[in-house]
Structure 1
Amino acid sequence: MMDRPEVSGFGVRHVQVILMFFWNVLFTSMVNGFPMSLVAMTTPFTSPNPNIPTFTDWNDQSIILSSFFWGFVATQLFGGYYARKYGVKWFMVPSMFITAIICFSLPYLVVQFGSIGLIFAVVVAGCAQGLSHSMLPVFISLWVPCKEKNTLGNAVYAGYGLGCILGINIATYCATSWFGWPLSFYITAVMQFSWGCFMSMFGGNYPQSHRTISDKELEFILEDKNLHEQIPTPWREILNSRPVWALWIANGGAIIITWLSAAEFPTYLSEVFDYKIEEVGNIMSLAFLLIGLLSFFVGIVVEYFINVKQVETGIMRKICNTVASLGCSIILIRMAFFDGTESKTVLYSILGVFAFNSTSFCGYLLNYNDISPNFCGILFGLGGVVASVMNLGNPVLMTIYVRNQSDPREWGLIFFISALIMIVANLVFVFFGSGEKQEWDDFNEERKSLRNS
């Protein structure tokens, strides 16, 4: 058994984690910057340039905001499967280039075809990014040592915080500049194209095939792992597994906060509390900075309790997920009773939601790698579909019940329903979830004969 000091310092695995960190930065930058850009698209005189087009007659903003996830759901089913079979590199690079082309051409499509053109572009971008997003657990399974899963694995997802800050600030700055909201999409396209080039040059599919990795680092990465590339997917066992379904339901509950923070909180602050777009951008940037910093701290604490204090992985996952779920739910229920006069309280409430949600990265997200290192990408893709189905009603409810976006009572119903779903989803995870690798994850001749009998 190799000691960790023998592989201390910066290694090839850290380069790969940095690349995935910045993939997540660009992904969340685009997703979270888009609602800010949409506000600028539909609000006149946001830019001092009178020639910047705005579209005040659009009444399908909630549909536009959810259209990314339509495409996202359509392809994330396949990402984990193909990543396990062929590696992540040459799927993630083309998908990022496609997204860059979409972002570059989006202003033209909006001007020429209106909201229909925007929806089409965003759906295509969602398709491209959905394929890559479901590959992240596979990357962690391949490249992150078991002993560093809670720090390096968490670091991959921690790009979420920085990406949100970057996306919101780019969108806000560009919207209020002379060049207006189209500039934010051009900047995003350049960053995405740059990442694709760096990934092409420095990214790797597997540690075993990387040209410069040392034998010690390779041994450390593969320690305590039993990964297989060509074993058949145990579909029957997966679909009959209670821990898997508990994880998928927990994923669905957690996605509610992602949807609210990315798509609805900026509009809520702007419409109910009359915050200007620059102020909304600053508030959301601070919130995402908070979640990014706290998630690193949580990862270190969780790794200490698992590796040093020998606390069971499943217990730590459930604690982290419960803190996130209950904390966010309590605050959302309190927000459901706001009447539009709590200008300062709403800021603390939103920051509180993000602070509690920082523990979810070490909750349900890393649990995919716990229960099935071999099939975590497939489980993650299916979990995304389950989560999306659970949340299909969100934009519909927004369209039906929040007809007057400046009325806090109409928002209150959305917050209350969201909190209830999160609480129920977490209870399912607590009672039926697991932190142990499932028996069906390791293929052997005995299981093969049982399946064929």
Structure 2
Amino acid sequence: MVYTKNVFVIESKSAPDIKEPSETRKRFIDCSFGFRHVQCLLLFLCLTVAYTMRVNISVAIVTMTDNSENPDFEEFDWDGGVKSILLSSFIWGYTVTQIPAGPLARKFGPKMCLFVGMLISGLLNLLTPIAARGGWEFVCALRAIEGFFQGVFFSCVHALLAKWAPQEERARLGTFCYAGCQMGTVIMMGLSGVFTSSGLGWPGIFYFSGGIGIIWCAIWLWLGANSPAQCHRISSEEREMIEHSLALKEINGVQQEVSPLKTVVFSIPFLALILTHTASVFENWMLLTEIPAYLKGVMGMDMKTNALFSALPYLGMLIMSFVFVLINNFIVSRNYFSLGARRKTFNTISQWLPAIFLIALGYITQDNSAAAMIALILTVSLTSAKYLGFMVNHIDLSPTYAGILMGLANFIAQVVALLGPLIVGQIVIDNTDLEQWRIIFWITAAFLFVGNLAFVAFGKVHPI
């Protein structure tokens, strides 16, 4: 690598070799299960566990403030304002570490950042039931600290994908890793009703999340690695294939330029990416924290039924994420669309279609609860197309700074997402009032429309 005229240049010393993949690369890409897949499985499990921790308060708070279904456990007199603060407190801490997340991953390595973040998050979850008895302020503090340590997760995952995923597999492996977000949501929302009605009660929700987090840490410390070069378990063939792909993926005989970070950050494509990223995060947090309240208030569902139906949209999202991967692979194999067209098409599916179903949801009454559930499932399921849209675009724009770009974009997105639960707390005074929820759904749909419009108009898929 050399530095010339404010531009880093990676020189290709064997450019002719990359026009046709070697037989080793073809074999690994097409059929071999390698250690890169082990890393992606661990990242999938990391995000699964992380999301059980993020979601647990939104399902637990229903029975923490109304123990009629299991009176053996303490009930807390927290009004709507307090509940909104508790639901948004995770994002406070989470937002703080978004910008330093990328530099921290580069300095200490994403492996260690993920380990420390998960370990502390697990311990804080185990302490949450004790904190609740001391007052909602203690729960709020624990959630904020937990968010602080989980704020590095997405940047670390992006940084690891940039090192471990060959370009030919980036969409596939990236989608698999981030599908852990939906798996964690499904697990927590699905099991919460079981926990709350059992002898463990609502504290069992936090004990489960914290316990599996600590187990994951032990496995990650044993098998995780920052890159193929630092991994002792990977075969030499697989390491050579990955490093060859990542070093020369854009070249084909031409030098690859790596623009300075400042140039990338202030580029129009990255600013458009921030806007669509923000819209997606706003929708995600709004639905993630408020679906249980909507189902109980408007649809009149009890906790056990509520937990099951709250999980269904995220189960649909998990399934659809892999369906979209298959569709993408088919399109690529037939060479129907360019990479840019695919990114924008999938992103449109993930934002404009959910916006339509969200608006429809605001007009469906309790008498048509089946239609409401279908609209809700479609709203959430279709957002999984984002993993083939904007979610990997940070790596497209700059593989070198992918973790930093994710951290910066996620910081801005989380600041706006802080408004989600707070807006709901101000507008939805009565959880049973459909008209109040309708306003929330229209606001969210507007975010999605503007965000995707910017991405379609100004998005770019090649390094800046």
TM-score (norm: length of structure 1): 0.91
Provide the residue aligned with 1:209 in structure 2: 230
One-letter amino acid matched to 1:419? A
Deviates more, 1:426-435 or 1:256-265: 256-265
> Closer, same or farther in 2 for the Cα pair 1:248/1:102, shift >3 Å?
same
Residue aligning to 2:453? 427
1:37 is matched with which residue? 60
- Once the two structures are TM-superposed, the CA of residue 54 in structure 1 deviates from its matched residue by 1.0
Provide the rounded CA distance (Å) in 2 between the counterparts of 1:248 and 1:400: 26
Cα shift at 1:10? 1.8
Does the alignment pair 1:78 with 2:118? no
Shift of 1:307: 5.6
Structure 1 residue 26 corresponds to structure 2 residue 52: no
Alignment of 1:379 with 2:398, yes or no, is no
Q: Which string of whole-angstrom CA distances, capped at 9 and with x for unpartnered residues, describes residues 365-414 of structure 1?
A: 11111111111111111111111233333223212211111111011101
Establish whether residue 2 from structure 1 lines up as the match of residue 22 from structure 2: yes
Task: Give the drift of 1:233.
Answer: 8.6
Deviation by residue 1:23-58 (Cα, 9 ceiling, x = unmatched): 010111122232111111111223252xx1111343
Structure 2 residue 122 is the aligned partner of structure 1 residue 96? no
Q: Higher mean Cα deviation, 5-14 or 259-268?
A: 5-14
Pick which of 27-36 and 422-431 moved more: 27-36
Preserved CA contact (<8 Å) 1:370 1:436: yes
1:260 Cα deviation from its structure 2 partner: 2.6
Q: Does 1:55 align with 2:76?
A: yes
Would the alpha carbon gap of residues 57 and 386 (structure 1) be closer, same or farther in structure 2, given more than 3 Å must change? closer
Correspondent of 2:342 among 284, 308, 316:
316
Name the CA shift for 1:45/1:178 in 2 (closer, same or farther; >3 Å). farther
- Match of 1:396? 422
CA contact (8 A) 1:315 1:435 kept: no
425-434 or 215-224, larger mean C-alpha shift? 215-224
Structure 2 SS opposite 1:211: coil
Q: Does 1:328 align with 2:328?
A: no
Among 211, 214, 225, the residue aligned to 1:193: 214
Partner AA of 2:63 in structure 1 = A
Aligned-partner SS, 1:56: coil
CA distance in 1: counterparts of 2:417 and 2:91, whole angstroms = 10
User: 1:67 touches 1:122 (CA, 8 Å); kept in 2?
Assistant: yes
> In 1, are the aligned partners of 2:92 and 2:418 still within 8 Å (CA)?
no
Residues 141-180 of structure 1 mapped to structure 2, 5 A cutoff: 141-180=162-201
Instruction: Answer whether contact 2:154 2:406 (CA < 8 A) is retained.
Output: no
Q: Distance in 1 between matches of 2:124 and 2:419?
A: 27
Residues in 2 aligned to 1:44 and 1:173: alpha-carbon distance in whole angstroms? 14
CA contact (8 A) 1:92 1:132 kept: yes
Q: Does 413-422 or 125-134 show the bigger shift? A: 125-134
The correspondence of residues 170-319 of structure 1 with structure 2, limited to 5 A, is 170-226=191-247, 234-306=260-332, 308-309=334-335, 311-319=337-345
User: Runs ≥4 in structure 1, deviation > 4 angstroms?
Assistant: none
Q: Which amino acid aligns with 1:81?
A: P
* 1:111 and 2:137 correspond: no
Report SS of the residue matched to 2:97: helix
Return closer, same or farther for 1:381/1:196 CA change in 2, 3 Å cut-off: same
Contact 2:158 2:406 in 1 (8 A): yes
Task: Return the offset for 1:310.
Answer: 6.5
Deviations 1:399-438 (A, max 9, x none): 2211111111011101001101110111001001111111
Deviations 1:114-169 (A, max 9, x none): 11111001001101111223211111101111100111111000112211111112
- The equivalent position to 1:120 in structure 2, one of 134, 141, 146, is 141
Cα distance in 1, alignment partners of residues 155 and 383 from structure 2: 20
Partner of 2:451, secondary structure, is: helix
Provide the residue aligned with 2:373 in structure 1. 347
Amino acid at match of 1:2: S
Contact 1:77–1:134, Cα closer than 8 Å, also in 2:
no
Q: Please provide the CA RMSD for this pair.
A: 1.8
Alpha carbons of 1:308 and 1:369: their partners in 2 closer, same or farther (altered >3 Å)? farther
Is the counterpart of residue 137 in structure 1 residue 158 in structure 2? Answer: yes
2: CA distance between counterparts of 1:396 and 1:387? 15
Q: Which amino acid aligns with 2:292?
A: P
Aligned partner of 1:317: which letter? R
Q: Give TM-score scaled by structure 2 length.
A: 0.89
Partner deviation per Cα, 1:66-90 (whole Å, 9 max, x = no partner): 1111111111222222223442111
Moved more, 167-176 or 15-24: 167-176
Question: What residue is the counterpart of 2:38 in the other structure?
Answer: 15
Give the AA of the match of 1:104: L
Q: Distance in 2 between matches of 1:133 and 1:46?
A: 37
Report the secondary structure of 2:140's partner residue.
Answer: helix
Cα distance, 1:226 vs structure 2: 3.3
Partner Cα distance (1:389, 1:125) in 2: 16
- Residues 338 and 409 of structure 1 are in contact (CA less than 8 Å); yes or no, is this contact kept in structure 2? no
Q: What is residue 408 of structure 1 aligned with on the other side?
A: 434
3-state SS in 1 of match to 2:158: helix
Q: Which secondary structure state, in structure 2, belongs to the residue aligned with residue 370 of structure 1? A: helix
Aligned to 1:442: none
Partner SS state of residue 180, structure 1: coil
Consecutive unaligned residues of structure 1, counting only runs of 5 or more, are 439-453
Contact 1:93–1:200, Cα closer than 8 Å, also in 2: yes
| Bigger mean CA deviation after superposition, 180-189 or 338-347 | 338-347
For these two proteins, the number of residue pairs brought into alignment is 432
Tell me, yes or no, if the aligned pair for 1:328 and 1:357 is still in contact at 8 Å: yes
